[in-house]
Chains A and B, each alone.
Chain A
Amino acid sequence: MIAPASHEPLNHEPAIEFDHASFQINGRPLLQNLVLSVKQGETLVLLGRSGSGKTTTLKLINRLLLPTSGEVRVNGQRTAEWDPIRLRRSIGYVIQDGGLFPHFTVERNIALVPRIENWPQPRIDARVRELMATAGLSEDLLSRYPSQLSGGQRQRVGVARALAADPPILILDEAFGALDPITRSEMQKEFRALQQRMKKAVIFVTHDLREGLLLADRIALMEAGRLVVDLPARDFSSSDDALVRAYVEAFASLPDPK
């Protein structure tokens, strides 16, 4: 297995589907009546301010949370019916700064899921080396610990780790949020090229509209636990929704220097 296998959808059922899903905690609604779906090969960017419900949405997909009403379906099956361990191992998850295990080397971090899935060692070794190349990392880094890497390198390892068992679904939570602008822009372009090859179902959470426009097939804007709009990326900036306009204007131009 050298090239990442492509996951052709068996039918036209969406890979991820929110069916009037709500989540509340102690009577406080964090997410209300979300209707949203992502197909295989599609990149959906969830855009919104802090506290708008983006991260809650992600946690409903890999069953870190269960909806308090409505349903979330992954590959047609309700998350409540999935074995949570199986579900999570079929979803790659990338968080800000990588979320790497500080006591594992780069190699062990990337090999985590293949190892707990009991892959034979030669296959794990081959896969780790393949992913190092995919993520643009030199093999010299394999024996390093996360604290010995730059922020950009840690983030690349985080992406490589999420891709290790070739999951059909990838979710990223502010994945590039901790990077300097130049590294960030590099990572965004590489990720876009990668996704064009991988054709996974991707949900990418960000509050950065530029990042959203660069990566998304569709952009879903959230505010206060509700979905505001769900638009193809090319139509987003021309929407006349007031919140979209506010967002677009906030990113419209560079300020004049004092």
Chain B
Amino acid sequence: MNFLQFMMANRQQVLDLTLEHITLAGVATLLAALVGIPLGILITRVPQLSKAVLGGANIIQTIPSLALFGFLLPAPWIGARGGRLAILALALYGLLPLIRNTYAGIQGVDPSIVEAGRAMGLTDRQLLLQVELPLASGVIVAGVRIAAVLSIGLATIAAAIGAGGLGEFIFRGLAMVNNQVILAGAIPAALLALIVDFALGRLERNLGTLRLRN
């Protein structure tokens, strides 16, 4: 049985695991954005915190993913379901690119434009929502893109703790020493990462043109 025949024979399961994979990575990226973007904004306003926040996110990034899954297993509620645990771990990994890009994007806005806005009488909130965030949006989307692609890749390992996703095929194939089964998990996961990377890359470029000046 070749790879394509295996995929066709198991198409329902391939589809289910792919959807599960998208859910894991998608919810994790969303969580990372909901926490990471406000944190990134916060450290542009309270620069004293920037070292601690960026350092903390950096440290999380250095924890090997299997070890992080392991550390979180004993946690109450979270550890009870593989899916919850995987989403939390993936979201933690996504924090760094989101915090860092939000911070860098806002810091990178031309200071003379921010000052012009302030001098015209924009409030801090108006300055953030109407000037800084729109002008930083390209860089922030680049952060979302990194976090999303990272999550899709790492989510394959989540199968090790019973969270499902395309990693199921990979681990099963490894156990069975069957390359077809490994590929049935690896190829859809790789395609998923490429598609998301391409789509968010386009969005990033479109937002980037807003920043063009001269």
Contacts and interface: CB of A to CB of B under 8 A. Distances in A.
Interface of A: 62, 64, 85-89, 91, 93, 95, 99-103, 112-113, 116, 146-147, 161
Given A103-B134, A103-B210, A116-B126, A95 B120 contact: no
Given A99-B113, A147-B213, A89 B121 contact: yes
Interface residues of B, number: 21
B173 interface: no
A103 B121 contact: no
Overall SS of chain B's interface: helix
A64 B119 contact: yes
A85 B121 contact: yes
B24 interface: no
Given A102-B210, A102-B211, A95 B118 contact: no
B117 A101 contact: yes
Given A146-B213, A147-B212, A147-B213, A101 B119 contact: no
B212 A93 contact: no
Contacts of A100: 113, 116
B7 interface: no
Interface of B: 112-113, 115-123, 126, 130-131, 134-135, 210-214
Contacts of B130: 101
Contacts of B135: 102-103
Contact of B131 (A95, A101, A147): A101
8 contacts: A64-B119, A99-B113, A100-B113, A101-B131, A102-B135, A102-B211, A102-B213, A103-B135
B122 A102 contact: no
A116 B122 contact: yes
A113 B121 contact: yes
B127 to A, nearest CB: 11
Given A91-B119, A102-B113, A102-B213, 9 more contacts: A93-B116, A93-B120, A95-B112, A101-B131, A103-B135, A103-B211, A112-B120, A113-B121, A147-B213
Given A64-B115, A95-B116, A99-B112, A116 B214 contact: no
A88 B99 CA distance: 32
Given A99-B112, A102-B210, A147-B213, A88 B134 contact: no
Contact of B121 (A86, A95, A99, A146): A86
A64 B118 contact: yes
A154 to B, nearest CB: 9
B205 to A, nearest CB: 15
**Which 5 residue pairs are nearest across A and B when measured between Cβ atoms?**
A99-B116, A89-B121, A88-B121, A93-B119, A102-B213
A35 to B, nearest CB: 24
A113 B212 contact: no
Nearest to B122: A116
Contacts of A103: 134-135, 210-211
Nearest to B124: A85
Contact of A113 (B112, B113, B118, B120): B120
A99 B117 CA distance: 8
Contacts of B212: 102, 147
A88 B120 CA distance: 6
A179 B114 CA distance: 22
Contacts of B126: 116
A112 B122 CA distance: 9
Contacts of A112: 120, 122
Contacts of A93: 116, 119-120
Contacts of A91: 119
A147 B214 contact: yes
Contacts of B115: 64, 99
A103 B134 CA distance: 8
A96 B37 CA distance: 32
Contacts of A85: 121, 123
Contact of B113 (A86, A87, A101, A147): A101
